Amino acid sequence: MKADATLDCIGLYCPMPIAHTAKKLKDLEVGQVLEILADDEGIKEDMPAWCRTTGNELLGIEEESGQYKVYVKKSHN
Amino acid sequence: MAEKERLTLILFSGDLDKALAAFNLAIGAASSGMEVSMFFTFWGLNIIKRNEGNIRSKGIMRRMLNLMNRGGSKRAHLSKFHMMGLGTWMMKRLMKDINFPQLDELMAMAKEMGVKFIACTTSMGIMGIGKEAFIPGVDSFAGVATYLAEAREGKINLFI
């Protein structure tokens, strides 16, 4: 999937990936896509939940050998 | 989005593990666009006491209390397996091992995200400690009416 920016959260545990995602998304424009790299399994549940609460769009989660690529589209300012 | 949802959190405990849980929740909520207020009362005040210098208080009993109960985020112990410092030291090592921030780093992060710190003045009165005992990050010094006013507006209210 194509992304406008990438955020490396490898090695970080909850709540750091969502804290960094929230911060990083502020630098993006509405409609742009952020790719988050993570290896804490909790991200699979946490990022969808975070997107639901904040009203951003989860485009997908790709899993490969214990690592996750999560795609979030910024939906509002 | 409409008006921001609010999380209020009372930290009654001065234990390291409970404080870590409280700040994790606060940071998670702030990251999710919530307004967060943390009320520190009784032993929880220890977490927001400054780490440096002496804590002054008047009277022999209060001086003794503050000697034995110095507080400060760097002095907080685990609620179990403290083992005269060994267990707490090990837990901090394990956290470092997985790049998890230490308590004071979590507190700085929460502050940066706009989490409000409120210290309970009744506990301060009982224990004989003044405003100068605390870190500069404390936003206000207040009591139960302030907490209730915020908690009434709160979507989630927790006591730890």
Q: Give per-residue pLDDT as tens, B75-126.
A: 999 999 999 999 999 999 999 999 999 999 999 999 999 999 999 999 999 9
Instruction: State the CATH number of the domain containing residue B46.
Output: 3.40.1260.10
**Nearest CA among B23, B16, B5 for reference residue B115:** B23
Of B89, B40, B49, which is closest to residue B69 (Cα–Cα)?
B49
Does B1 map to a domain?
A: no
Count of the separate structural domains present in chain A = 1
Per-residue pLDDT band at A1 (split at 50, 70, 90): confident
pTM: 0.92
Structure confidence at residue A18 as a pLDDT band (50, 70, 90) = very high
Q: Cα–Cα distance between B45 and B137 in angstroms, integer?
A: 13
CB A24 within 8 A of CB A7: yes
Our count of domains for chain B comes to 1
pLDDT at B3 over 80: no
Q: Which domain holds residue B77?
A: 6-159
Interior angle at CA B6, CA B5 and CA B12, nearest 5: 160
- Within 8 A of B32 by CB-CB distance, chain A residues are 18, 22, 50, 53-54
Regarding an ipTM greater than 0.90, the answer is no
User: CA-nearest residue of chain A to B109?
Assistant: A19
Q: Scanning every residue of chain B, which has its alpha carbon at the shortest distance from the alpha carbon of A24?
A: B31
Task: Dump pLDDT digits (tens) for B11-45.
Answer: 999 999 999 999 999 999 999 999 999 999 999 99
Any domain includes B136 = yes
Is A14 among the residues known to form the active site?
yes
Residue A40 belongs to domain with CATH number: 3.30.110.40
Q: Which domain holds residue A31?
A: 5-73
Q: What is the pLDDT of residues A21-68, one digit of tens each?
A: 999 999 999 999 999 999 999 999 999 999 999 999 999 999 999 999
Q: Is the pLDDT of residue B2 over 80?
A: no
